[in-house]
Structure 1
Amino acid sequence: MGRKSKNKPLPLHRVVMVGSGGVGKSALTLNFVCNQFFEEYDPTKVDAYRKKVSLDGVDCEIDILDTAGQEEYAPIRDNYFRCGEGFICVFDICERSTFENTKEFREQICRVLGHDNAPFILVGNKIDLEHMRKVSKSEAEARAREWNCKYIETTAKIKEDEKEEDRSVFQLYITVARMIRDYKQTHPKNDSSKSLLSCFRSCFGK
């Protein structure tokens, strides 16, 4: 009898969350990974998560690096931007300054990567607070057109009896994973199976 072949590792797609502090990056990530909405959690420094999903009928894993938005962490952003294959840039629709700050994050990502065509989604979060909105959907869509990227609005809050696949957060991560998969078909990387955390550590020689 022939020797059984080892199971091949699942395709891995690396996503980096960026945006100002307090916009809900961790809430979105934990909603997707844990299927829960957390009212309170410790402010993020850098956390890594992984979830197995079916992407267009094919199992894969999504690796997520949830980064800190505070200014004191700006000096290390270059390192985790180098690790990403796709980027979710989040702002709070109720805080105009966080929308303005997306320009800086976008510019830094493009500078680090040396191009502006990496999978990238601009996200307006906290649409459950529509009555407090300070950034209109049309304005955010205009910026997405300027950047030639997708714009998606989300909330990390879960409605009663809402199915996972129907939530805007789930569709957000599926969309970015699909964009990464398609991008890698024409832009292959030798280390695409390397986890975000190990990639991030290697940036610091650890």
Structure 2
Amino acid sequence: MHPIQLVVFGSGGVGKSALTIQFVQGLFIEFYDPTIEDCFRRALQVDGQPCLLEIIDTAGTEQFTALYDMYMKRGEGFLLVYSVTSKGSLEDLEERREQILHIKGSTDPAATVPIVLIGNKTDIIHEREVSTDEGRRLAAEWRCPFLETSAKTAENVDEAFFSLVREVRLASGMHGSGTSSRAHGRGRRRKCVIL
């Protein structure tokens, strides 16, 4: 089975690693240990269809941004994570999204690049700086799914990744049966390789 490459982006300290580890291992990591790059794999079923996910947890600090182009080229879907306790972390995602669209060569960002916007750390209620409505408005502008999560309580963590898998499948024309919509009927095309 071909792994689906998912990339998790966001500023330092927003909980990218905590979300990923909660999803893959079912654990919450309390302490903050800045990541350079971690890669996780998980086999599971989404909507009754088996899939193998390869999740790249990226660095959120400026010194490692040179690696971002490589992640963006390899990635099939992108989880853009901000902390609801930091308005700046939400604002940082605009540049990251633009960079993804540029690298992917997207002229119509709405339908071609699978992105899910995630507001993390909803368990820290007293420090909230970004309202749910602000996240929803940005997701509506970007025309992508939006979820609020808590890596600590595991709220919506699975659904965040499942939603991204659905977006990847939608963008690649995959249906519930695991076959491409082009494989049936008039939309079928053949490729010619000249050596």
Place the TM-score, normalised by the shorter chain, in its bin.
Answer: 0.7 to 0.9
Q: Which residue of 1 aligns with 2:89?
A: 98
Out of 184, 191, 198, the position equivalent to 2:172 is: 184
Higher relative contact order, structure no. (Cα contacts within 8 Å, ≥ 6 residues apart): 1
Q: Which runs of 4+ in 1 moved over 4 A?
A: none
| DSSP-derived class of the 1:127 partner | coil
TM-score (norm 2): 0.83
Q: Secondary structure, in 3 states, of the residue corresponding to 2:103?
A: helix
Corresponding residue number in structure 2 for 1:5: none
Report sequence identity in percent: 39
Q: Is the 8 A contact 1:11 1:61 kept in 2?
A: yes
- Give the Cα–Cα distance (whole angstroms) in 2 for the partners of residues 12 and 183 of structure 1: 16
Is 1:33 matched with 2:33?
A: no
Distance 2:91 2:2 in 1: 35
The separation in 2 between residues aligned to 1:175 and 1:31, in whole angstroms, is 16
Q: Do the aligned partners of 2:24 and 2:42 also contact (CA within 8 Å) in 1? A: yes
Q: 5+ residue gaps in structure 2? A: 175-179, 181-195
Task: Please tell me the residue identity of whatever aligns with 2:113.
Answer: A
- Whether the 8 Å CA contact 1:13–1:181 is kept in 2: the answer is no
Equivalent of residue 127 in structure 2, options 124, 132, 144: 132
* Cross-structure match for 1:63: 54
Report the 3-state secondary structure (helix = DSSP H, G, I; strand = E; otherwise coil) of the residue aligned with 1:105. Answer: helix
Q: Is the 8 A contact 2:7 2:57 kept in 1?
A: yes
Residue aligning to 1:151: 146
Matched-pair contact (CA < 8 Å) for 1:86–1:180: yes
Number of residue equivalences: 171
1:172 aligns with 2:163: no
Q: Kindly report the root-mean-square deviation, in angstroms, between the aligned alpha carbons of the 2 structures.
A: 1.5
Could you tell me which amino acid in structure 1 is paired with residue 75 of structure 2? Answer: G
